[in-house]
Amino acid sequence: MTIRADKKIKSEVSLHDPIGVDKEGNEISLIDILGSDVDEVVDKVHLQIQIKKLYRKMSKVLKGREKTIIQLRYGLTNVGDKTQREIAKNLGISRSYSTDIIGLNQ
Range of the domain at 21: 1-34
Domain count, the chain: 1
Alpha-carbon span 49 to 29, nearest angstrom: 23
pLDDT of residue 36: 63
Alpha-carbon span 97 to 105, nearest angstrom: 9
pLDDT of residue 57: 92
51: in domain: no
pLDDT per residue of the chain (106 residues) written in tens, 0 to 9: 455 555 555 667 787 888 888 888 889 887 777 766 767 878 888 999 998 998 899 889 988 888 888 888 888 888 888 988 998 898 888 877 767 776 655 4
Would you give the DSSP letter of residue 13?
-
66: in domain: no
Answer for the pair 74, 43: CB distance below 8 angstroms, yes or no: no
90: in domain: no
pLDDT of residue 44: 87
25: in domain: yes
14: in domain: yes
